[in-house]
Amino acid sequence: MKLIEPILENLISLISRLPGLGPKSARRIALYLLKNKDKLIKPLAETLSKAYSEILRCEICGAIKSSSAKCTIKKCHYISNSYDQLCIVENIADMWAMEATNIYKGHYHILGGTLSALNGSDPDTLLINSLIDRVKKNNVKEVIIATSATIEGQTTAHYINDSLKGHNVKITKLAHGLPVGSEIEYLDDGTLFSAFKYRNSISEK
């Protein structure tokens, strides 16, 4: 005899797929949503529907944008503009963490993940070709690789470094002070600030 309705069971299953949530947390959230259907479920469903249909990924820099507007991340669509630095991060959360340190306010290239055969992330998915085009067309002088200190992050960093060889650009990465296995978005501001300030050169022009 099933004690949970199939719809509720499916809702719990979907919620449990969110980062940091297990089955017990998912059950609590699902029951709380059902208890507040008009205040939460209805507006949440409408917002999720709009997000699904109207929010896209910028094909140039990887940021999220509205389907009806150009990307607002430092006007990346103006490819004729020149800028000195381009910081490469894995995701939007990493960019927000970097912005919070106030040490870098330049242009970003958001990979949307790391190279991973398991997750189906390849160079095309990570917009590597777009990255190379931006470096060439915008006369970028320094590419700052700010991927996490995980195996996947470092593998991705090496691939980017190899891809940019011969493009007359200095390539740097965050200092080795980052804890091994750490992810950028979870670092405190002080650690991230120091890692960025004392970044190491891995390839000169």
Closest CA to 203 of 160, 139, 155, 152: 160
Residue 152 to residue 113: CA distance in whole angstroms: 9
Asked whether the predicted pLDDT for residue 148 surpasses 70, the reply is yes
Residue 141 to residue 175: CA distance in whole angstroms: 19
Residue 75 to residue 6: CA distance in whole angstroms: 46
Specify the pLDDT at position 75: 57
Asked whether the predicted pLDDT for residue 19 surpasses 90, the reply is no
Residue 109 to residue 76: CA distance in whole angstroms: 9
Block residue for tokens 């242009």: 107
CATH architecture of residue range(s) 85-203 = 3-Layer(aba) Sandwich (3.40)
Specify the pLDDT at position 16: 95
Conformational region of residue 148, where left means phi above 0, alpha means psi within -120 to 50, and beta covers everything else: beta
Specify the pLDDT at position 77: 58
Binned at pLDDT 50, 70 and 90, residue 205 comes out as low
Beta pairing partners, 52? none
Specify the pLDDT at position 117: 72
Specify the pLDDT at position 53: 92
Q: Give the pair of three-digit tokens for residue 53.
A: 């249909």
pTM of the model: 0.77
Give the residue-averaged pLDDT of 134-159. 88
Exposure of 21 in the CB half-sphere (CA atoms within 13 A): 15
Give the pLDDT confidence of 83-118 residue by residue, as tens digits: 788 999 999 998 888 888 888 878 899 998 888 877
Give the pLDDT confidence of 116-127 residue by residue, as tens digits: 877 777 888 888
Q: Which of 27 and 138 is assigned the larger pLDDT?
A: 27
Residue 81 to residue 56: CA distance in whole angstroms: 23
Percent over 70 (pLDDT), the chain: 86
What fold characterizes domain 6-56?
Helicase, Ruva Protein; domain 3 (1.10.8)
The DSSP line for 102-132 is TS--SEEEE-SS--BTTTTB-TTTTTHHHHH
Q: Which of 70 and 129 is assigned the larger pLDDT?
A: 129
Provide the 8-state DSSP code for 100.
Answer: H
Average pLDDT, the chain: 83
* SS3 call for 34: helix
Binned at pLDDT 50, 70 and 90, residue 73 comes out as low
Helix axes 92-101, 189-197, angle to 10 degrees: 80
Asked whether the predicted pLDDT for residue 46 surpasses 90, the reply is yes
Q: Domain spans of the chain?
A: 6-56, 85-203
Specify the pLDDT at position 204: 60
